[in-house]
């Protein structure tokens, strides 16, 4: 269980990094997308809010994983002392 939680932690961190990269890409290239007709000028706020929601949800999941990791570590400590 501990190994799974550690792996989930690293995968969540990688996913958070990907979302941050997408946010930067959205910010840096929005005007180019609008100029080329690929998106409307008003879409920046929608995309930005959606990415912020994803970031918030990832933070919640990460906190939950951290709590599970702490509880699992405590149980393992109790079991190993017996």
User: Could you report the per-residue pLDDT of 9-45, keeping only the tens digit for each?
Assistant: 999 999 999 999 999 999 998 889 888 988 888 899 9
Owning domain of residue 48: 2-80
Residue 81 pLDDT: 77
Interatomic CA distance for residues 3 and 38, integer angstroms: 44
Q: Measured between alpha carbons, how far is 60 from 76 in angstroms, rounded to an integer?
A: 24
Alpha-carbon distance values, 63 to 4, 20, 80 (Å): 15, 18, 26
pLDDT of the residue at 82: 66
DSSP state of 40: -
How confident is the model at residue 60, as a pLDDT? Answer: 98
This prediction's pTM: 0.81
When divided into structural domains, the chain yields a total of 1
pLDDT above 70 as % of the chain = 99
């Amino acid at each position: 269980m501990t190994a799974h939680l550690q792996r989930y932690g690293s995968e969540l961190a990688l996913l958070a990094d990907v979302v941050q990269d997408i946010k930067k890409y959205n910010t840096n290239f929005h005007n180019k997308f609008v100029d080329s007709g690929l998106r409307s000028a008003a879409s920046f706020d929608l995309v930005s809010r959606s990415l912020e929601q994803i970031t918030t949800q990832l933070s919640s999941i990460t906190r939950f994983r951290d709590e599970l990791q702490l509880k699992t570590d405590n149980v393992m400590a109790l079991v190993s002392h017996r």
